[in-house]
Amino acid sequence: MNEKATRVAKGENDVTRNRRVSFDYTIEDRIECGIVLVGSEVKSLRQGLVDISDAYATVDSGQLVLKQLHIGQWSYAKAFPHEERRGRRLLANRHEIDQLEKELARGGKTLVPSRLYFKDGRLKVELVLGVGKKKYDKRADIAKKTADREARSEVDRARKERG
């Protein structure tokens, strides 16, 4: 069973992904958190009015906060609209928050959301603890992927020739 079929079976439904995370950061750890939202934000997320490309997470006064997450206005929430780029509190265990705070205090590491998804009707955010890649690291990754792709194509071509 492929990954997408497994996620659907578990009740997971992707809202959005940040595909640049694996390209821009060396991933050290992943953590799943809940997120505190108001009703119109949930409706906007279900419509796909979200952008996580600029978002990042910090630990402020013992709480995990997701900043710069853009959730667009829901068209029917005219009376009580939400602020589009407000800081949103993330729900994680105290132990996890303390560990993340220590890692971030060491310096050079960033908490970035890699995807938003609904899991059993609740919105979850997958945070990635990573170190920013330098330009030469990115070039090395691209070269490695290209070499792997070429090697796979050669193997496939050899198989086709044999039979």
Answer left, alpha or beta for residue 32, where phi above 0 means left and psi between -120 and 50 means alpha: beta
How is the chain split into domains, by residue range? 3-132, 134-163
In this prediction, residues 70-94 reach a mean pLDDT of 82
pLDDT higher at 66 or 85: 66
Write the class of the CATH domain 3-132: mainly beta
pLDDT tens figures, 46-60: 888 888 888 989 998
Higher-confidence residue: 20 or 80? 20
Which tens digit of pLDDT belongs to each residue from 91-110? 999 999 999 899 888 888 88
Rounded Cα–Cα distance for residues 152 and 41 (Å): 44
pTM greater than 0.75 = no
Query: Which pLDDT value is given to residue 9?
Result: 46
- CA distance from start to end of the chain: 27
Q: What sign for the dihedral angle of Cα 15, 17, 91, 119? A: positive
- How confident is the model over 4-16, as pLDDT tens digits? 544 544 667 888 8
Per the CB < 8 A criterion, the answer to whether 52 and 16 are in contact is: yes
Token pair for residue 55?
């978002």
pLDDT greater than 90 at residue 78: no
In this structure, are residues 88 and 37 in contact, taking their beta carbons and an 8 Å threshold? yes
